[in-house]
Chain A
């Protein structure tokens, strides 16, 4: 009897720290195979850069999922935000701060639609945001006139209205400041700021407590006097903030908002949240866990690429990580 309880406890600890253990194992294995090519400062920088955008989208997913919400349209909105950011920089020639502010406000306005569907029309989160994916994609391309926004390309037709009838971008190309956003060290700093904001919001403020309370039991939270709609709306606005930042990073890193450029971050960011959900026995989406999840996924991708695994297999690896994370999250639950 004693022994089985001990075994159970050890099993629990292993599950709770599974993400970290896998991460450490991965580092050891990759180092053993590739030596200093993998285990070096230069490669660490690579990994950090590669994970930063994923982490920012992961924060958006974390903050939506804390009150038991969901957002399938985060990546498409991110792409849309990238178009908008690029147009602010290139077509309107806004200074960087104004372009960023404008993009964040734009994301929040677009998110009002999501919130309208979820809170006013009472459509379940998953379905509402699935539908909105298409809306974002279509409106996004309508905004750019069907092509990417890039230095040297002609702006979309509507832009002439803002430019005295002339269809020509106001800026000759990307400003240095806008380019730097997507480069080290700014991209790390932005990632860390996003994680800190998300962590403080969820772990240290009363709003975070309310969001987790809603995630645990919405009825009880409501009957405790928590304004659940207001809180869900607030979570949505924070998600919009992170999505906008994610879109800006994607755009700045690629020097152009490619069509559907952020879309691949959706599933990966959800995977990061699920990997991080159980880290340290938190059992709920949390900022630090998501950070570890993003680090794990990126390290695996990086290491496997170095070991000569062809790039087109990598999605299968990501999928496997997500499966394992979900197994860890749900297999230990008591219901069957």
Chain B
């Protein structure tokens, strides 16, 4: 098998869901020993196509080809037998947090190959798990429970589990989305290592074009369920070229900062400390019409700070004032009453009510506005939703649609609409562009600018430094729950942000 090229592909694969053509006549091919990127806007069909290859989408028409021969992969088992392994974006779904790393790595083996065995051989299990992790070149203590691992380490455990079985094709669904830059770098090393030593084909689904250009050998762009183009990556490949293919139109990649008038200090936080120590002695202020960034790596305390401000985490000290009045915030409900709003990081889990309609989601934070004597006036709520669907160009067949059926970017817009309807004064965005395609991203940026222009305070937390540099006026860099530095966006650089985000306490000196 070693160094022998195996190909996996599809011929005229289509999938139809009621009313939607998720995939139409997709011809796709990949051979072992390459790193291949699959890109496309949200809803372009990337994940659907990968699920076909992984056998978890049995309702396809057309053929899956293995070395040119048609094969049936209607179950995950059939795909695994062909050596196709997939690591989904939600790593926690696939791991058993209470079991050790060793047990998680060897999970399939433990489940499948136990016929006739009664007792577990833990010494052997740990030895084998250690060997698999060594193949990945990563160092994790196999006795640790998975719950104590970082997100990046959990991903490694899943990759280890995938290659522990026969693995010729490894599909990674948006692996870098939640990772910080250093963690991404480590992941790339592992991926390259796998390509070189194990002759594995790696399929990357991602939104980050820079990464693709750096590590992939070739890429496929999908749009509206069709494959637009498959080409090798050469040094001449530019990100603009890929973006144009993804959107089907020419696209300017930068997000110009729109100028807002900045007023006086409005939202002031002093010495804020979270009860469990996840936020330590944070002081910051936001002026009216200003967009203030929270920079830092994953785990730096940005999300924790956002949640503490919003009352979802309990504070143990410090004060929060808005326009001179001290706010008493014990829970999110208090925060909303006093004009705060939060667009949380985990959209589906925390942001939208997926089982509810667009109408209700748009009204969820201020339902009283649409009520008379506590009775909901559905028509008024629907009108409100219609207005936002139009203003924010939310793509939905009707306001009665359940939000579960909208794409990621549109769901995010619904979350923003909810707070616009509630007429908040302070808008806190926590990674609002996570898992959102480039087109929708720009619309969200525009929306945030509009919010600031209207004289509101905006706090924007993200680990994407390029976003901070383009949209904010000022930023605070966080590390380990503390603010390390306050930077003027116009006078800073990515290097300076990273300098403080990695915990440096010495002043930054520009290189050269």
From residue 258 to 273 of chain A, which have CB atoms closer than 8 A to chain B?
none
Q: Is the CB of A216 within 8 A of B16?
A: no
From residue 218 to 233 of chain A, which have CB atoms closer than 8 A to chain B?
219-230
Q: Is the CB of B374 within 8 A of A225?
A: no
Residue of B nearest to A216 (CB): B355
The yes or no answer to B379 lying at the interface (CB within 8 A) is: no
Give bound CA distance, A226 to B334, whole Å: 9
Knowing A5-B18, A213-B360, A216-B354 are in contact, say whether A223-B371 is a contact too (CB < 8 A). no
0/1 string, B408-430, CB within 8 A of A gives 1: 00000000001000100000000
Residue of A nearest to B376 (CB): A206
Give bound CA distance, A219 to B360, whole Å: 16
The yes or no answer to A205 lying at the interface (CB within 8 A) is: yes
Give bound CA distance, A225 to B337, whole Å: 8
The yes or no answer to A316 lying at the interface (CB within 8 A) is: no
The yes or no answer to A3 lying at the interface (CB within 8 A) is: no
The yes or no answer to A94 lying at the interface (CB within 8 A) is: no
Residues of A near B370 (CB, < 8 A) are 206
User: Which among B18, B354, B367 is the interface contact of A206 at CB below 8 angstroms?
Assistant: B367
Q: Is the CB of B349 within 8 A of A225?
A: no
Give bound CA distance, A229 to B342, whole Å: 19
The yes or no answer to A217 lying at the interface (CB within 8 A) is: yes
Counted as pairs of residues, one from A and one from B, with CB atoms less than 8 Å apart, the total is 82
CB distance from B405 to the nearest CB of A (A): 14
The yes or no answer to B262 lying at the interface (CB within 8 A) is: no
Q: Is the CB of A220 within 8 A of B353?
A: yes
Q: Is the CB of B332 within 8 A of A220?
A: no
User: Which among B342, B360, B368 is the interface contact of A223 at CB below 8 angstroms?
Assistant: B342
CB distance from B461 to the nearest CB of A (A): 15
Knowing A205-B376, A225-B337 are in contact, say whether A217-B354 is a contact too (CB < 8 A). yes
User: Which among B16, B61, B337, B360 is the interface contact of A209 at CB below 8 angstroms?
Assistant: B360
The yes or no answer to B351 lying at the interface (CB within 8 A) is: yes
Residues of A near B389 (CB, < 8 A) are none
Residue of B nearest to A8 (CB): B18
The yes or no answer to B375 lying at the interface (CB within 8 A) is: yes
Q: Is the CB of A225 within 8 A of B352?
A: no
Give bound CA distance, A78 to B16, whole Å: 52
User: Which among B16, B312, B418, B422 is the interface contact of A222 at CB below 8 angstroms?
Assistant: B312
The yes or no answer to B344 lying at the interface (CB within 8 A) is: yes
The yes or no answer to B331 lying at the interface (CB within 8 A) is: yes
0/1 string, A187-218, CB within 8 A of B gives 1: 00000000000001000111111101100110
CB distance from B383 to the nearest CB of A (A): 16
Most buried by A among B349, B353, B371: B353
The yes or no answer to B350 lying at the interface (CB within 8 A) is: yes
Residues of A near B331 (CB, < 8 A) are 222, 227, 229
The yes or no answer to B494 lying at the interface (CB within 8 A) is: no
Residues of B near A224 (CB, < 8 A) are 332, 336, 353, 364-365, 418
The yes or no answer to A42 lying at the interface (CB within 8 A) is: no
Knowing A207-B374, A209-B376 are in contact, say whether A223-B312 is a contact too (CB < 8 A). yes
User: Which among B336, B344, B360, B375 is the interface contact of A205 at CB below 8 angstroms?
Assistant: B375
